[in-house]
Amino acid sequence: MNEDQLTVLMIKYLKENKKSAFEKVLDELQPYDIAQLYRNLPEKHHLKFLLFLTPKEIADLIQELESDLQIEIIHRLGVEKSSKIMDLMENDNLADLLSELSVENIQEYLSVMKAEDSTYIQNLMSYSADTAGGLMTNQFMSIKDDYTVQDAVDKLKSFAEMNHTIYYLYVINDDKQLVGVVSYRDLVLADTNERISNIMFNRVISVPVDLDQEEVANLIERYDFIALPVVDENHKLLGIVTVDDVIDVVIQEANEDIEKLSASGKDIDFYTKATTAAFRRLPWLILLLFIGLISGSIISGFEETLEQVVALVFFMPMIAGMTGNTGTQSLAVVVRGLITHKLDKKTILNLIIREFGVGIIVGIICGLLIAIIALVWMGSIIALVVGISLILTLIIGTLAGTIIPLLLYKLGVDPAVASGPLITTLNDIFSLIVYFSFATAFLAYL
Amino acid sequence: MNEDQLTVLMIKYLKENKKSAFEKVLDELQPYDIAQLYRNLPEKHHLKFLLFLTPKEIADLIQELESDLQIEIIHRLGVEKSSKIMDLMENDNLADLLSELSVENIQEYLSVMKAEDSTYIQNLMSYSADTAGGLMTNQFMSIKDDYTVQDAVDKLKSFAEMNHTIYYLYVINDDKQLVGVVSYRDLVLADTNERISNIMFNRVISVPVDLDQEEVANLIERYDFIALPVVDENHKLLGIVTVDDVIDVVIQEANEDIEKLSASGKDIDFYTKATTAAFRRLPWLILLLFIGLISGSIISGFEETLEQVVALVFFMPMIAGMTGNTGTQSLAVVVRGLITHKLDKKTILNLIIREFGVGIIVGIICGLLIAIIALVWMGSIIALVVGISLILTLIIGTLAGTIIPLLLYKLGVDPAVASGPLITTLNDIFSLIVYFSFATAFLAYL
């Protein structure tokens, strides 16, 4: 059964009020699929659909949806029912949801929650969304270091309903400081009378609550963890970041790099409105328009040369374009490389020398090629001007595409904002200056 | 202690032959850190370093290293010792390592392995590296559906050394078909006499062995799994793909998108040699050079117009550049969107209409802006030609950046090969035709 067939079937059950048939189908679906179904349903069926779900199922559904649909559900269900559902949500997702609501609404929901949860969520909301604190959840199980394995299993059993996603148990001391970690597997394999402190792994890697999410993702990726504990400055355990959130971070960071490299503006997807998308892209475009005009004023400085040899214009797009292309290629290597490499002086120097080498090789091959073509098309002097210009501009383009993002990085600016279009536009300017200067110098022979 | 200090300390221990001090430090490190240390060591210390490690530690180390360093270690240790280490490696990593060796070497290593492992690895090597089969490992634990919880725990205990990374137990029937899954947590919470078939989750999501790695990554991301079982056409369990491999896939796919979008060539990182990097980028550059020459021959068709109004050239880089920029912006949205969206007719149509809208808004705003500037700089007729041309070319640029990658996708070609530089170069051509056609039409008034 494909998605469309499933949607049609569920609408039928909703219309005919067949709750048990509905539940039977729903039971086979994962939260992601239920969310897809909810998106596909016409809006008039939304309330009925929600009434057919258990609070747990609604909590799972909400965590898969976009914030506008989340808020719609919250408002449909009202404060009392919503707060029950919020109790069942993972706290990191809940904090994200609440941060979308108005201040009065937030207060209203927090006031009906358990005091403990309410405090935790207010804390979570105070951390920046792109730090370990913004990613973490309190859906983890902690045990005391003086427990036995049997004590731990008993605690687990009594909280069995709550902690459904977690694979490690974190061990804390009397001061609530993180001192070790035990996997469920360790519990299965250990003797029931064994002390937790004897079977736990005590060199736990943890992260401070204000660590950047990209660093958190790097650690999890590097060490192949499925969860990472988050601690405060006193090493008190605050929460955990799980691997599924990290995958989302990795995808988000890659998308941001591509957005910046293409200057395509933040958060534009297939469903963004045209006006929103246009106004997110316009700032970049207007900036690039003005930089593009600089090229124009440079050319106007060579007006005399141009009037004498209009044929020079024929090669202008190719030279400017090629310089932009080599710049973009170097830029991409630098931006992606920065994700996994630390930048010491030696690495930077090697990279610049390497790209200089690339520029020379690429420049000579493309320069010779175009000189031969220009020779056949236009004669020897133009061939000489175009060939030498291309060699020089390709070397400059490659170096600009390497050095500008590295400089930005060293200045603490994200190098991806040096974006393909920006490098391309700058390289336009460099290449036109080189090309027309050569042409003017050789003007007597042209 | 930072990385450099650690390296210096370990070199000291190696030189002074202090094995126990060495081991004490090493015990505190994760495989990733040991690999970093190995990379930082001068080559002359490599052999001594390896001799100080246990086979398990070498196996962990190898799995973190690049293939050239892996092969160096294998050759240093010789067949006999290497094969012991290979026994301790995860089979997916081992298959990747072996595929880097010569055919004779592969045969040599396979012949000294356990027959069971050797067959499994030969199978693994027959799957394409970018499919579920290429990613999977056999380091999982399967149990029979007629086991009791106690049977499962006993089996676990007897294989305790082997399965250190796994969080689920997979349940198979007499025909080795996958019928369910049990977490370690379920085992902890269940009564020891309970039947596995009663506590297992039997709607396991599994993937066929030839599924593309991008789809596998999507499933794991979508459902927040930490491992996904891989089955053959008879639903026999072959292996599992774990979430840490999936993070690597996500990063790799994002890098590939960026490589293609910037036409920067495959697999160029900070350490690629200049000649290698140059020759990986050259095919694209030479193609773009020839396409760029088309622009030149188009301009040469308008030579008469140009000779009469040389000032037209001043706005050429800006118009061509801006058209390229809008095209790149649209392209980036399409390429990243394709990762998470299915493309039905409705989505495609909506996207094209949306981008058409963006093109109109962006075109009118930038067109008006440039017309005002041109009016002040050059007078009313040039302002009119430049303004109208920019409106039209920005609409064309946006649509080209949207439709070309969508067409490629529908034709089964990866749309990211439509690359920023290619879209930019094509948009150069479109924009010059529009601009010079308008200029020629208005020539009488210029």
Q: Which of residues 127-156 of A touch B (CB under 8 A)?
A: 153, 156
Instruction: State how far the Cα of A270 lies from the Cα of A292, in Å rounded to an integer.
Output: 29
Sign of the C-alpha dihedral, residues B3, B6, B10, B12? positive
Of chain A residues 204-263, which have a CB less than 8 A from chain B? 205, 220-224, 226, 243-244, 246-248, 250-251, 254-255, 257-259, 261-263
Nearest to A97 by CA among A112, A80, A83, A111: A83
3-state secondary structure of B205: coil
Token pair of A405 as six digits: 């993002």
Which superfamily is assigned to B3-133 in CATH?
MgtE N-terminal domain-like (1.25.60.10)
Question: Which residues in chain B have Cβ-Cβ distances shorter than 8 Å to A326?
Answer: 281, 285
Q: Is the pLDDT of residue B395 over 90?
A: yes
pLDDT at B166: 61
Q: Does A329 touch chain B (CB under 8 A)?
A: yes
CA distance B245 to A233: 32
User: In this structure, what DSSP letter does residue B310 have?
Assistant: G
Cα distance between residue B390 and residue B386, in whole Å: 6
Angle at alpha carbon of residue A172, lines to A169 and A177, rounded to 5°? 130
Q: Do B370 and A184 touch (CB under 8 A)?
A: no
CA distances from A360 to A56, A266, A348, B262 (A): 63, 36, 18, 20
pLDDT for B258 beyond 60: yes
DSSP code, position A234 = T
Given a contact cutoff of 8 angstroms between Cβ atoms, the answer to whether A409 and A344 are in contact is no
Q: Mark out the alpha helices in A262-273 (DSSP H runs).
A: none
Q: Is the dihedral of CA B145, B146, B147, B148 positive or negative?
A: positive
| Chain A residues 154-193 within an 8 A CB cutoff of chain B | 156-157, 160, 165-167, 183-185, 187-189
A325 and B421 in contact by Cβ < 8 A? yes
Q: Could you give the C-alpha distances from A429 to A400, A425, B19, B191, in angstroms and in order?
A: 12, 7, 61, 75
- The pLDDT tens digits for B356-392 are 999 999 999 999 999 999 898 888 888 999 999 999 9
Distance between terminal CA atoms of chain B? 72
Cβ neighbors of A287 (< 8 A, separation 6 or more) are none
Cβ-nearest to B296 among A261, A268, A314: A314
Contact (Cβ atoms closer than 8 angstroms) between residue A435 and residue A442: no
- Give B223's strand partners: none
pLDDT tens digits, B197-244: 999 988 888 999 999 888 898 888 888 788 899 999 999 999 899 888
Whether B156 shows a pLDDT value over 90: the answer reads no
CA-CA distance, A395 to A388, in Å (whole number)? 11
**How many angstroms separate the CA atoms of A266 and A260, rounded?**
8
Q: What is the pLDDT of residue B160?
A: 66
B 337-366: CB under 8 A from A: 337, 339, 341, 347, 350-351, 353-358, 361-362, 365-366
User: Given a cut of 90, is residue B416 above it in pLDDT?
Assistant: no
ipTM over 0.85: no
Beta-carbon separation of B325 and A284 below 8 A = yes
Question: Between chain A and chain B, how many beta carbons pairs sit less than 8 Å apart?
Answer: 351
pLDDT for A418 equals 61
Contacts of A270 in chain B (CB under 8 A): 333, 337, 341, 347, 350-351, 354
- Is domain A3-135 annotated with CATH 1.25.60.10? yes
By the CB < 8 Å criterion, does B277 face chain A? Answer: yes
Helices (H), A127-269: 132-135, 149-158, 184-189, 196-199, 213-223, 243-261
- How far out from the chain centre does Cα A270 lie? 17
* B203: closest chain A residue by CA: A28
* CB atoms A167 and B165 under 8 Å: no
**Is 80 exceeded by the pLDDT of residue B420?**
no
**CB B74 within 8 Å of CB B94:** no
- CA A99 to chain centroid, in Å, comes to 20
How far away is chain B from the Cα of A254, in angstroms, using its nearest Cα? 6
Pick the residue from chain A with its C-alpha nearest to B377. Answer: A297
Name the token pair of A392. Answer: 């020089």
Every domain of chain A and the residues it spans: 3-135, 141-259, 274-445
Q: Would the CB atoms of B296 and A318 count as touching at under 8 Å?
A: yes
- Higher-pLDDT residue of B238 and B422 is B238
User: What are the backbone dihedrals phi and psi of residue B182, each rounded to the nearest 5 degrees, phi first?
Assistant: -130, 135
- The answer to whether B243 and B220 are in contact (CB under 8 A) is yes
DSSP per residue over B407-435, as a string? HHHHTTS-GGGGTHHHHHHHHHHHHHHHH
Is B263 in contact with A330 (Cβ distance < 8 A)? no
Mean pLDDT by 10 residues, chain A (446 residues): 84 90 87 88 89 90 86 86 84 81 81 79 82 85 90 82 68 92 86 90 89 88 86 91 86 80 70 81 83 84 85 87 87 78 79 92 93 87 91 94 88 72 84 90 78
Contact state of A354 with B307 under an 8 Å Cβ cutoff: no
CATH architecture of A274-445: Orthogonal Bundle (1.10)
The shortest CB-CB distance from A250 to any of B188, B247, B355 is to: B247
CATH 3.10.580.10 fits A141-259, yes or no: yes
- Provide the pLDDT for residue B148: 92
d(CA B29, CA A222): 13
B327 reaches A (C-beta below 8 A): no
Sheet strands side by side (includes A207-208): A207-208, A227-231, A237-242
CA distance A353 to A345: 12
Strands A227-231 and A237-242: antiparallel
Picking from B146, B137, B151, B65, the residue whose alpha carbon sits closest to that of residue B95 is: B137
Among A206-210, B128-132, B306-310, name the most confident range: A206-210
Q: Does B7 touch chain A (CB under 8 A)?
A: no
**Which strands, in side-by-side order, build the sheet including A141-144?**
A141-144, A168-172, A178-183
Whether B230 contacts B241, CB under 8 Å: yes
What average pLDDT does range B247-262 have in this prediction?
80
Report CB contact under 8 Å: B247, A221.
yes
CATH number for region B141-257: 3.10.580.10
> Which of B3-17, B37-51, B339-353 shows the lowest mean pLDDT across its residues?
B339-353
DSSP-assigned states of every residue in A345-403? HHHHHHHHHHHHHHHHHHHHHHHHHHHHHHHHHH-HHHHHHHHHHHHHHHHHHHHHHHH
Assigned token pair, A115: 């005091």
Tokens coding B48: 């001594």
* From B50-59, B187-196, B407-416, B428-437, the region with the lowest mean pLDDT: B407-416
Helix (H, G, I), strand (E, B) or coil at A266: coil
Residues A53 and A19: their CA atoms lie apart, in Å, by 9
Candidates A36, A60, A312, A329: best to mutate against B (most CBs of B within 10 A) is: A329
Question: Residue B123 pLDDT more than 90?
Answer: no
The residues in B 42-61 lying below 8 A from A, measured between CB atoms, are none
The Cα A223–Cα B35 span in angstroms is: 11
Residues of B in contact with A268 (CB under 8 A): 333
Say which of B261, B318, B350 has its CB closest to residue A292. B318
Q: Is B441 on the interface with A (CB under 8 A)?
A: no
Reported as a single tens digit per residue, the pLDDT across B159-169 is 766 655 567 88
Give pLDDT tens digits for B86-110: 888 877 788 888 888 888 888 888 8
What is residue A400's predicted lDDT score, i.e. its pLDDT?
Answer: 93
Please list the residues that pair with A240 across neighbouring strands.
A137, A229
pLDDT, residue B129, reads 80
> Residue B397: what pLDDT?
93
CA atoms within 13 A on the CB side of A282: 17
CA distance A158 to chain B (A): 10
Contact indicator for B425, A321 with CB cutoff of 8 Å: yes
Instruction: For residue B128, count other CB atoms closer than 10 A to its CB.
Output: 11
Whether pLDDT at B26 is above 90: no
